[in-house]
Structure 1
Amino acid sequence: MSKPEILLETGTNEFEILEFFINEETIDNKEIGGNYFGMNVAKVVEVIESPNLESKNYSVNPCFLGTIPLRDVVLPVIDLSIWLGMDRVKHRYENIIVTQFSNSIQGFLVSGVVEIQRLNWNELIPPGNFIRSMDTKSIIGMVDKGDHFIQLLDLEHIVSDLNPESIEELWKTEVKADQNYKTLVVEDSPTIRKMLEKNLKKSNFQVNMTNNGAEAEKYLENLKAQAKAENKTATDFLDIVICDIEMPLVDGFTLTKKIKEDTELQDLPVILYSSIITNELRHKGESVGADFQVSKPDMNQMAEMAIKLIEGQ
């Protein structure tokens, strides 16, 4: 199964996921299904049959199953069930979902694949008390399909947790603004939020955070009300918006479009970022008025570009 062409209209708040499942074993050795998960199709390269890998006793992390050759690539494989704390029932025919994002390629072992689902971001329920606390950092949110729930995974968190040094090195920046600029960061992943906040503060930014586009909309509406009450403009309170593209409730494209169509906010520079900025995504970002777009492997450019946009360079 190869990755299909993604054809989604910009600003419609739609996205596509690959739905898959993990069969779990109970204490009394009974097999149960119903553990459905999803990952963004934009990060999926293909789905292949698993060569029946076993966890290596000498592995630093029990999730790591070793590597397999995939054409001209040596593919590291992660057992997703171990990461999620599940006791997977092993079958002869299982799948590896090959993914590529944040300058890395890896495979995730799962029980099987269901289908590609086209969804609206407002269908994604942010994680809350209904998800086990041990899983909340790995789960972006849930989708209610009526007869079952799909849990959407935060793949960046999983990979960065397995290899934190490489991510920290990737995002290093030595840039520092001459004055304290105010930024709104819109990001649903706790891992990425933490790293962005750390790097921007180091570069002399005052950082305000929201978890998704819907929260950002409320934040900006409150900002407009404050500006009106004090006879000021929104840009007196905020210098730039830095926003993930893929988020629950309201995505980055939709949020950017609303900002640029709002006469009180349209002068705010907006930086969009994603795991991979393809030509298609770049075109979509330009069509909604994004001032700059960057992929997560190049996030070390974030502070420098934000300063340039604010200062009109």
Structure 2
Amino acid sequence: MKEDILLESGTNELEILIFKVGDSILGVNVAKVERIINYQTTTEVPNSHSNVKGLINHRGRVIPVLDLLTTLGQKCVIAPKERLLIIIHINNTDFAVEVSSVIGIRRLSWSEIDLPSSILLSNSETLITGIIKGSSDEMILMLDLEKILADINPSLALKEPKETRGLEGKKLVVVEDSTFLLKVVNESLLKGGATVETFSNGKDALDYLQSCSIDEIYCVITDIEMPIMDGLTLTKQIKSDSKLKEIPVILFSSIVNESFMHKGLSVGADAQITKPEIDKLVELVKSVKRMVS
């Protein structure tokens, strides 16, 4: 599926796969989708997490299947054999999600994706990172797959780094739309002595950077997938601005991998790292000035 994506980097566009789980209409960035396959019987695993339905053997690969119906508290009238499986790749991890049906693919701008209300954002347990207005009164909810995956397998969650000293006196800008991930990254950097300004989308971060002295900012750490303005567009804007271009930018995202890194390079990112490697992130933050000097 990824081969069909011809979006230019830094244009603030994306393609989302729209699907249903029970009565919920949900969306996921196509960049995270490996393929859609027909239903396969899953093999249950004793004592596994309640949100894991079981395992499938897909082309010789053993892939866990997540039970979104249970996770989202939904019911589905469609018979299991008529459902579909979406194979996802994030954080260097493969898994599948069982869905009631697939509606299609929609190309849009991140500016068309609204942030959830402050009520949802105040809850670190929310599984929604954005909301898209569909036809009529329908709304498409963008799922926080990283949070769902981390709840099932804590080893894949961001953890506080073993060592954070060395950040004293450094002012960092962190841009991340997941309240869950933003909290962990922010607390880790603060414990290292850094001063941190946090934003949930690239536009607010860019407005802030344009209003302050560049000498204040040590570096920018940004996710890629964010409502309003994504991280690739933010990076491109920073690197094309004569005032801001010397600020190092680190892309910290679940979709960073070997095949995706050319997009970060094309917009001028100084470093790229996949979640949840926060230890490596801290080391990059410490050395990024030397990397670009």
Q: Same fold (TM over 0.5)?
A: yes
Q: How many residues align?
A: 290
The answer for the alignment partner of 1:18 in structure 2 is 17
Secondary structure of 1:66's aligned partner:
strand
For 1:121, the aligned partner's letter is: W
Bigger Rg, which one: 1
The answer for the alignment partner of 1:30 in structure 2 is none
Report the aligned-residue RMSD.
Answer: 2.6
Secondary structure of 1:293's aligned partner:
strand
Q: Does 1:234 align with 2:214?
A: yes
* Alignment partner of 2:84 out of 71, 86, 95: 95
For 2:249, the aligned partner's letter is: V
The answer for the alignment partner of 2:148 in structure 1 is 158
Quick one: distance in 2 between partners of 1:281 and 1:165? Answer: 24
For 1:64, the aligned partner's letter is: V
Uncovered stretches (5+) of structure 2, i.e. residues with no partner: none
| Structure 1 residues 23 and 241: alpha-carbon distance in aligned structure 2, compared to 1, 3 A threshold | same
Give how far 1:175 is off: 4.7
Conserved 8 A contact 1:63-1:79: yes
Secondary structure of 1:127's aligned partner:
coil
| Structure 1 residues 88 and 132: alpha-carbon distance in aligned structure 2, compared to 1, 3 A threshold | farther
Q: % of aligned pairs identical?
A: 37
Quick one: distance in 2 between partners of 1:206 and 1:158? Answer: 29
Q: Does 1:304 align with 2:283?
A: yes
The answer for the alignment partner of 2:248 in structure 1 is 269
Give how far 1:40 is off: 1.0
| Structure 1 residues 130 and 202: alpha-carbon distance in aligned structure 2, compared to 1, 3 A threshold | closer
| Structure 1 residues 59 and 89: alpha-carbon distance in aligned structure 2, compared to 1, 3 A threshold | farther
Conserved 8 A contact 2:177-2:201: yes
| Structure 1 residues 192 and 263: alpha-carbon distance in aligned structure 2, compared to 1, 3 A threshold | same
Q: What TM-score do you get using the length of structure 2 for normalisation?
A: 0.89
The answer for the alignment partner of 2:39 in structure 1 is 50
Quick one: distance in 2 between partners of 1:131 and 1:168? Answer: 21
Quick one: distance in 2 between partners of 1:195 and 1:135? Answer: 10
* Alignment partner of 1:107 out of 78, 96, 99: 96
Cα deviations by residue, 1:167-202 (Å, 9 ceiling, x for unpaired): 246x63425216321100000011211221233234
Cα deviations by residue, 1:8-43 (Å, 9 ceiling, x for unpaired): 11211001111101234xxxxxxxxxx211111111
The answer for the alignment partner of 2:132 in structure 1 is 143
The answer for the alignment partner of 1:62 in structure 2 is 50
Conserved 8 A contact 1:84-1:135: no
Secondary structure of 1:276's aligned partner:
coil
Secondary structure of 2:211's aligned partner:
helix
Q: Does 1:167 align with 2:157?
A: yes
Cα deviations by residue, 1:228-255 (Å, 9 ceiling, x for unpaired): xxxxx322x2211001111110011111
1:192-271 mapped onto 2 (5 Å cutoff):
192-223=181-212, 233-235=213-215, 237-271=216-250
Give how far 1:149 is off: 1.8
Quick one: distance in 2 between partners of 1:123 and 1:73? Answer: 36
Quick one: distance in 2 between partners of 1:22 and 1:276? Answer: 23
| Structure 1 residues 299 and 132: alpha-carbon distance in aligned structure 2, compared to 1, 3 A threshold | closer
More deviation in 200-209 or 252-261? 200-209
Give how far 1:3 is off: 4.5
